[in-house]
Amino acid sequence: MIKLSRDLTAFLADLDELQNKALEIARGHLGSSFNLHRSNGYKEWKQLQTELEKYLNDVDNGQVILGRKLREGPTFRIENSKEFKEWKKLQNEIEKYLNDLEKTDRQVILDRKLSDGRHFRIENTTEFREWKAKKESESH
């Protein structure tokens, strides 16, 4: 019997009926060359787990979200929640903002984040808000 890693066990448990069917088809077609670790589905799931972990560590209401998941059970998907989608959109905006900065300015922001820890929020800085307002005005 093959012993699966904790991640692979969690990944397989997370699959719905359609995804399980797709997995079986892929295994059938690829035979012994099939590698679950290298599958796109597993890689995407693993990336999502990383994002969810960052989200739960980043948001103030992480405990509330986890409590909601416990109450609602398997029907509640954090990744489908409005809060997670808004957080992910904000993370993309922050990444674009940092990429738009000159290297020295970017380093200053990242150093501030490191020194202030969880209390420092890039999205609360005047510089970020001004950048965002400029981007929004450019798009209209």
3-class DSSP string for the chain: CCCCCHHHHHHHHHCCHHHHHHHHHHHHHHHHHCCHHHCHHHHHHHHHHHHHHHHHHHCCCHHHHHHHHHHHHHHCCHHHCHHHHHHHHHHHHHHHHHHHCCHHHHHHHHHHHHHHHHHCCHHHCHHHHHHHHHHHHHHC
Domain count across the chain: 2
Mark which of 76, 98, 113 sits at the end of a domain: 76
4 and 72: one domain? yes
The pLDDT of residue 2: 61
State residue 73's pLDDT score: 83
Could you tell me if 34 and 50 lie in one domain? yes
Residues 137 and 85 in one domain: yes
- pLDDT of 77 higher than 70: yes
Asked whether residue 9 falls in the same domain as residue 63, the answer is yes
Q: pLDDT tens digit string along 18-29?
A: 999 999 999 899
Residues 99 and 112 in one domain: yes
Residue 3: its pLDDT value, please?
67
Specify whether 99 is located in the same domain as 133: yes
Residue 38 domain boundaries: 1-76
Same domain, 63 and 96: no
Tens digits of per-residue pLDDT, 90-108? 999 999 999 999 888 888 8
46 and 92, same structural domain? no
Could you tell me if 95 and 68 lie in one domain?
no
> Are residue 2 and residue 60 in the same domain, yes or no?
yes
Residues 12 and 44 in one domain: yes
Average pLDDT value over all residues in the chain = 87
